[in-house]
């Protein structure tokens, strides 16, 4: 059995994220890697990422599951909850026991109903500006260890740098361009999921997996693949059994 | 299936940011209202409005290329006769203040919402930084217009009570399903959903949910069925 130390696994995760610096990367793909690596490395059960849209409202851009329940819990926080507070203050927000919350009651109930008991929200920061937040959900009450919290923030920082790396981002306008690209890709992916759901006769979660597998197998970005599905130049069938 | 009138009602000045942040003289935001009908949402001056109308009536000009390619079209010297691509339009604007034209597509995902058309009374191109700024402003206009389009269809819903994209994600998925069922474009599919919601006194969210659940189909390839059918 091959085992690896935590330090090795952490460095592999960083390499994966920074690989996107050179590869034909895709913003949403990068953010999916971020949430997946966070869940595999840290003591958390699920993760999701929210970015601010042009009106300042947070939108779910990536999550470890495309199941609507997780997405809804995440999006619920966009109105009021730990992630929006994290985004507004630019600092991490930790809720060690969701059941004990006396505010954000809608968020509390939705989170508990999905089997999550704790939440750690990490800011996505670039040049002193916060562009979004990553929410890490725990299956048990309790805070993340200091080390886990530090690794979570470091992963988010590397992902933010990668996300913004296209140019030396000095102007706020370029940050906005990248943000809009991420949000647009997310919308395009949702539209493509709808097309696949219809043509392949599968649910939305399976549609996303088909989309992602196809993009990977053909070394294409999620954005490009989703675009071809929506303009109907590419048709993805369900898995052949 | 005209989206513009509702969206234009009580409009904030969508042209103002372009005038404030870019070296231009005038701006017009033009929204695609379904099939061929288009309606101007806003123009900062008469010439800006006329440039849009001319291109629409002539069926040629940079706005059409921006729409077709979904990319910005920059015409730094619009008065030059070298603009072979749109001869009639070029002829029509000779002598006007439209020395340079810049058209940016307004898109969200695969939905083409319209175009923003900018003109400058001085010839010359936008520099790289101004192009980025214009693209960002166009992105903001697109999201603003999409928000208006999605919101007006559910006047009975208090926006404060409805977590935004939670419902919109379903709307984008439903747009994709309708697109696959009907063979229409993403923008047309969104408008079909919206029209169905209006006609049946449903919210857009309810209509999208019915499509996702398979209870409502816009499949036109079926046995002579006309229009969407509840199953």
pLDDT over threshold 70, residue A31: yes
Q: Distance from A174 to chain B by nearest Cα, in Å? A: 7
Could you report the per-residue pLDDT of B115-135, keeping only the tens digit for each? 999 999 999 999 988 998 999
d(CA A14, CA B138): 34
Does residue A12 sit within a domain? Answer: yes
Q: Which residues contact A186 (CB under 8 A, 6 or more apart)?
A: A28, A59, A60, A61, A62, B109
Does residue A39 sit within a domain? Answer: yes
Could you say which DSSP state residue A54 is in? T
Q: Distance from B127 to chain A by nearest Cα, in Å? A: 14
> The dihedral of CA B106, A169, B169, A222: what is its sign?
positive
Q: pLDDT value at position A27?
A: 79
B228 pLDDT band (50/70/90 cuts)? Answer: low
Alpha carbon B212 to chain centroid, angstroms: 25
Q: pLDDT value at position A93?
A: 95
- Give the number of other CB atoms < 10 A from CB of residue B58: 15
Q: Which of B138, B15, B102, B14 is nearest to A176 (CA)?
A: B138
Name the 3-class secondary structure at B40: strand
Q: pLDDT value at position B163?
A: 45
Residue of A78, A198, A229 to mutate, testing the B interface (most B Cβ within 10 Å of its Cβ): A198
Could you report the per-residue pLDDT of A137-163, keeping only the tens digit for each? 999 999 999 999 999 999 998 888 777
Does residue A236 sit within a domain? Answer: no
Q: pLDDT value at position B68?
A: 87
User: Of the candidates B129, B143, B180, which has its C-beta nearest A198's C-beta?
Assistant: B180
Does residue A156 sit within a domain? Answer: yes
Q: pLDDT value at position B27?
A: 96
B44 vs B6 pLDDT, higher one: B44
pLDDT over threshold 80, residue A35: yes
Locate the chain A residue with the closest alpha carbon to B186. Answer: A230
A94 pLDDT band (50/70/90 cuts)? Answer: very high
Range with lowest mean pLDDT among A61-65, A218-222, B152-156, B201-205: B152-156
Range of the domain at A81: 6-169
Q: pLDDT value at position A41?
A: 92
The continuous run of DSSP H or E covering A26 comes out as: none
Strand B38-43 relative to strand A93-95, pairing: unpaired
Cβ A75–B176 below 8 Å, yes or no?
Answer: no
Cβ A173–B136 below 8 Å, yes or no?
Answer: yes
Domains for chain B: give ranges and CATH numbers.
4-152 (3.30.450.40), 159-230 (1.10.10.10)
As a whole number, the mean pLDDT across chain A is: 85
Measuring CA to CA, how many Å separate B175 from each of A226, B113, B186, B220?
14, 14, 6, 15
Q: pLDDT value at position A57?
A: 83
DSSP sequence for A102-164: SS-HHHHHHHHHTT--EEEEEEEEETTEEEEEEEEEESSSSPPPHHHHHHHHHHHHHHHHHHT
Name the 3-class secondary structure at B194: helix
Q: pLDDT value at position B11?
A: 52
DSSP sequence for B70-87: SS-EEES-TTSTT-TTSH
The continuous run of DSSP H or E covering A238 comes out as: none
pLDDT over threshold 70, residue A95: yes
Cβ A231–B110 below 8 Å, yes or no?
Answer: yes
The continuous run of DSSP H or E covering A56 comes out as: none
B13 vs B220 pLDDT, higher one: B13
In this structure, what CATH number is given to the domain that contains residue A71? 3.30.450.40
pLDDT over threshold 80, residue B7: no
Does residue A111 sit within a domain? Answer: yes
Residue of A194, A226, A232 to mutate, testing the B interface (most B Cβ within 10 Å of its Cβ): A194
Does the pTM of the predicted model rise above 0.80? no
Scanning the structure block, which residue is given the tokens 């990668």? Answer: A162
Q: Distance from B195 to chain A by nearest Cα, in Å? A: 19
Cβ B110–A60 below 8 Å, yes or no?
Answer: no
Q: Distance from A145 to chain B by nearest Cα, in Å? A: 31
Cβ B176–A174 below 8 Å, yes or no?
Answer: no
Locate the chain A residue with the closest alpha carbon to B170. Answer: A190
Cβ A230–B109 below 8 Å, yes or no?
Answer: yes
Number of cross-chain residue pairs from A and B with Cβ atoms under 8 Å apart? 114
Chain A positions touching B179 (Cβ under 8 A) are 191, 194-195, 230
- Give the number of other CB atoms < 10 A from CB of residue A152: 23
Does residue A131 sit within a domain? Answer: yes
Q: Distance from B220 to chain A by nearest Cα, in Å? A: 14
Could you say which DSSP state residue A64 is in? S
Q: Which ipTM did the prediction report?
A: 0.71
Angle in degrees, 0-180, between the axes of helices A204-217 and A27-41, rounded to the nearest 10: 110
- Give the number of other CB atoms < 10 A from CB of residue A162: 20
Q: Are A182 and A31 in contact (CB under 8 A)?
A: yes
Residues facing residue A162 across a β-bridge: none
Could you report the per-residue pLDDT of B212-223, keeping only the tens digit for each? 999 999 987 554
> The dihedral of CA B90, B95, B98, B99: what is its sign?
positive
Q: Are A234 and A228 in contact (CB under 8 A)?
A: yes
Does residue A144 sit within a domain? Answer: yes
N residues, chain A: 241
Could you say which DSSP state residue A58 is in? E
Scanning the structure block, which residue is given the tokens 């059995």? Answer: A1
A106: left (phi over 0), alpha (psi -120 to 50) or beta: alpha
Q: Which of B98, B20, B4 is nearest to B55 (CA)?
A: B98
As a whole number, the mean pLDDT across chain B is: 81
Does residue A191 sit within a domain? Answer: no
Q: Strands (DSSP E) along chain B, which ranges?
A: 26-32, 38-43, 73-75, 100-108, 111-120, 216-217, 229-230
Name the 3-class secondary structure at A198: helix
Name the domain count of chain A: 1
């Amino acid at each position: 059995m091959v085992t690896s130390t935590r330090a090795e696994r952490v460095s592999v995760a960083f390499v994966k994220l920074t690989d996107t610096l050179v590869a034909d990367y895709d913003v949403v793909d990068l953010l999916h890697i971020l949430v997946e690596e966070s869940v595999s490395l840290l003591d958390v059960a699920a993760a999701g990422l929210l970015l601010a849209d042009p009106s300042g409202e947070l939108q779910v851009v990536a999550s470890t599951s495309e199941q609507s329940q997780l997405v809804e819990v995440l999006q619920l926080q966009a109105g009021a909850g730990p992630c929006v507070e994290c985004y507004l203050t630019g600092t991490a927000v930790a809720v060690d026991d969701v059941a004990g919350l006396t505010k954000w009651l809608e968020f509390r109930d939705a989170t508990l109903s999905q089997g999550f008991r704790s939440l750690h929200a990490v800011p996505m920061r670039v040049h002193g500006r916060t562009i979004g937040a990553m929410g890490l959900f725990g299956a048990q009450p309790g805070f993340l260890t200091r080390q886990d919290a530090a690794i979570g923030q470091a992963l988010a920082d590397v992902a933010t740098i990668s996300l913004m790396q296209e140019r030396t981002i000095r102007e706020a306008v370029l940050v906005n361009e990248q943000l809009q690209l991420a949000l647009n890709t997310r919308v395009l992916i949702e539209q493509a999921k709808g097309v696949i759901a219809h043509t392949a006769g599968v649910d939305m979660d399976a549609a996303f997996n088909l989309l992602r597998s196809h993009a990977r197998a053909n070394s294409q970005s999620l954005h490009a693949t989703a675009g071809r599905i929506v303009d109907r130049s590419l048709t993805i069938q369900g898995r052949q059994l | 299936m005209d989206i513009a009138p509702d969206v234009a009602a009580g409009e904030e000045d969508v042209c103002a940011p372009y005038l404030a942040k870019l070296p231009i003289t005038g701006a017009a935001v033009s929204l695609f209202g379904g099939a061929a009908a288009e309606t101007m949402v806003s123009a900062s001056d008469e010439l800006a409005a006329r440039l849009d109308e001319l291109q629409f009536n002539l069926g040629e000009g940079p706005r059409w290329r921006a729409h077709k390619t979904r990319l910005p079209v920059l015409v730094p010297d619009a008065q030059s006769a070298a603009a072979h691509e749109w001869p009639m339009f070029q002829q029509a604007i000779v002598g006007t203040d439209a020395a340079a034209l810049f058209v940016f597509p307004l898109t969200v995902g695969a939905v083409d919402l319209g175009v923003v058309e900018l003109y400058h009374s001085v010839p010359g191109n936008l520099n790289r930084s101004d192009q980025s700024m214009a693209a960002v402003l166009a992105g903001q206009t697109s999201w603003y217009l999409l928000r208006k389009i999605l919101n007006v269809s559910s006047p009975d819903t208090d926006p404060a009570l409805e977590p935004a994209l939670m419902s919109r994600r379903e709307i984008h998925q439903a747009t994709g399903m309708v697109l696959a069922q009907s063979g229409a474009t993403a923008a047309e599919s969104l408008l079909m959903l919206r029209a169905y919601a209006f006609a049946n006194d449903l919210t857009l969210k309810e209509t999208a949910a019915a499509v996702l659940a398979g209870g409502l189909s816009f499949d036109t390839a079926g046995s002579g069925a006309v229009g969407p059918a509840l199953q």
